[in-house]
Amino acid sequence: MKVASIVLGVCLLLSTAACQSTPMKLPSASIGPNEKALGQTEGSSTGIMLFGFIPIIQNTRFENAYAEAVQKGGGTRLTDITISEQWFWALVLNGYIFTVQGTAVGNK
């Protein structure tokens, strides 16, 4: 029984793996005279490639993460944007978690 649980644990470990990208800072417009900084915010969105060729929320994960970050911050846009991505693999799918961090900017 103990050998079976060890073999099962090793199989699970080998069937799932993950990586993370280096955060990248994007150039963005500075805060204008009619705007104010509302504070730091973050948003994320996950996309999946099922069987390596069926995309599920792959094409909109960038927009979804940005929109979530803007909504959480209560602003109209972000400045000082940093993006990063995590990947994970399982037997039948590849997952991609996209994260946007930045300073929410709103009208005065």
User: 45 lies in which domain range?
Assistant: 18-107
Residues with Cβ within 8 Å of residue 1, at least 6 apart in sequence: none
Count: domains in the chain: 1
What CA–CA distances, in Å, run from 25 to 28, 56, 58, 69? 9, 26, 22, 15
Q: Is there a domain that residue 2 lies in?
A: no
In tens digits, the chain (108 residues) has pLDDT values of 777 777 766 655 555 566 777 888 888 888 989 999 999 999 999 999 999 899 999 999 999 999 999 999 999 999 999 999 999 988 899 999 999 999 999 998
35 by Cβ neighbours in 10 Å (0-12 / 13-18 / 19+) ranks as: middle
Contact criterion met (CB below 8 Å) for 97 and 85 = yes
Please report the pLDDT score of residue 16 as a whole number.
59
Q: Is there a domain that residue 38 lies in?
A: yes
Q: Domain holding 41: CATH number? A: 3.30.110
Please report the pLDDT score of residue 24 as a whole number.
85
Cα–Cα distance for residue pair 66/100, rounded to 1 Å: 6
Beta-bridge partners for 84: 99
> 24 is written with which tokens?
């990248």
Q: Is there a domain that residue 9 lies in?
A: no
